[in-house]
Amino acid sequence: MKIIKAFIYIIIFVSVGFSVHAQDLIYKKDKSTIKAKVLEVDLDVVRYKMEVNPEGPTYTIKKSMISKIVYKNGYEEVYNQIEEVPVSKETVQDKPKSPEVKPKEEVKKETKKNPDLEYGELTDPRDGQKYKTIKIGTQTWMAENMKYRVKKNKGITGSGEMTKYEFYKAKRRACPEGWHLPSNHEWKIMIDHLGGMKVAGGKLKSVTGWQEPNYAATNESGFTAIPTGAYQGGLVEPGWKLPEWAIFWTSTWTFGYSTINANARVYILKPETAVVTRKKLSRYDHYAPVRCMKNQ
């Protein structure tokens, strides 16, 4: 009888242990927690269903209200984390001058091209900057993000490979002569060549420069994607969004006059998956990186 009771306790303990990790946990900045099934993490919001009612309605919460998400597989996403530094009793005169630190979005990512592939090189005649190029299937792509800055820098933010363009600058001005901002269809051709949306992300991501786990990253395509995020302008919650993702404009857009229905297609790569995600992003108030493709 004691053996049976012990066995029952073990079953209860194990089942409870599994139930604790059977859902995603959304930690809000007000210290409350939501037990949920996360459906989608977008640039500004998270969509989820309640763990107690997985067939019920879909809820939306602004990312600005979230401190972190812990997924049931143990992966953790932290948002807007700020390191607290204790106040020193030293006087300002006694303290050594701190070295200048660039904002997070402008820190150059460590990248590594694929040594097994042969890269071409292009010099942009507009400013003399050099770019590595790579052939993927029948297409030739730049293996680096565009860094070109138009006169007065209007419609551009960031620097180096962290440079981001508003949609119309990306479409009309970012790429040099003989190159263009690729369409949704041209992205699809490349992704299909690499095995489809479910696996191509790993083949496009740089093996360095990403936060862990950088799942399935091989860079076997030579594309060498790095995480850059996007920038949201406008009056509502402006700032850098999702710096742990790689986000790229396409030239494909939908007609509309408001920020709600005037969108352009973007492709997204994430550190925790090899899946390529395709979404719509407002073409009026967002800035994202550009990868140019050679005219065919």
pLDDT digits (tens, 9 = 90+) for 197-207: 999 999 999 99
CA distance 183 to 189: 10
Q: Quick one: 122 and 34 in the same domain?
A: no
- Threshold 0.85, pTM exceeds: no
Model confidence at 234, in pLDDT bands (50, 70, 90)?
low
Q: Quick one: 196 and 288 in the same domain?
A: yes
194 contacts 202 by C-beta, under 8 angstroms: no
CA distance 33 to 30: 9
Statement: residue 11 has pLDDT above 70: no
Q: Is residue 8 part of a domain?
A: yes
CA distance 224 to 289: 13
Highest mean pLDDT, choosing among 103-117, 169-183, 243-257: 169-183
Q: Quick one: 204 and 131 in the same domain?
A: yes
Q: Quick one: 71 and 119 in the same domain?
A: no
CB under 8 A, 24+ apart: contacts of 234-242? 234/259, 234/284, 234/285, 237/44, 237/62, 237/64, 240/104, 240/105, 241/43, 241/44, 241/63, 242/41, 242/43
Q: Quick one: 45 and 182 in the same domain?
A: no
R_g of the chain computed on alpha carbons: 23
Number of domains in the chain: 2
Model confidence at 68, in pLDDT bands (50, 70, 90)?
confident
Q: Quick one: 136 and 74 in the same domain?
A: no
Structure tokens at 47: 């969509």
Position 157 scores a pLDDT of 85
Q: Quick one: 53 and 167 in the same domain?
A: no
Q: What CATH number is associated with residue 28?
A: 2.30.30.100
Q: List % helix, strand, coil for the chain (3-state, nearest 5).
A: 20, 30, 55
Q: Quick one: 182 and 248 in the same domain?
A: yes
Structure tokens at 16: 């409870």
Q: Is residue 95 part of a domain?
A: no
Q: Quick one: 138 and 268 in the same domain?
A: yes
CA distance 201 to 293: 18
Model confidence at 158, in pLDDT bands (50, 70, 90)?
confident
Q: Quick one: 35 and 178 in the same domain?
A: no
CA distance 243 to 230: 7
Q: Quick one: 118 and 246 in the same domain?
A: yes
Enclosing domain of residue 276: 104-294
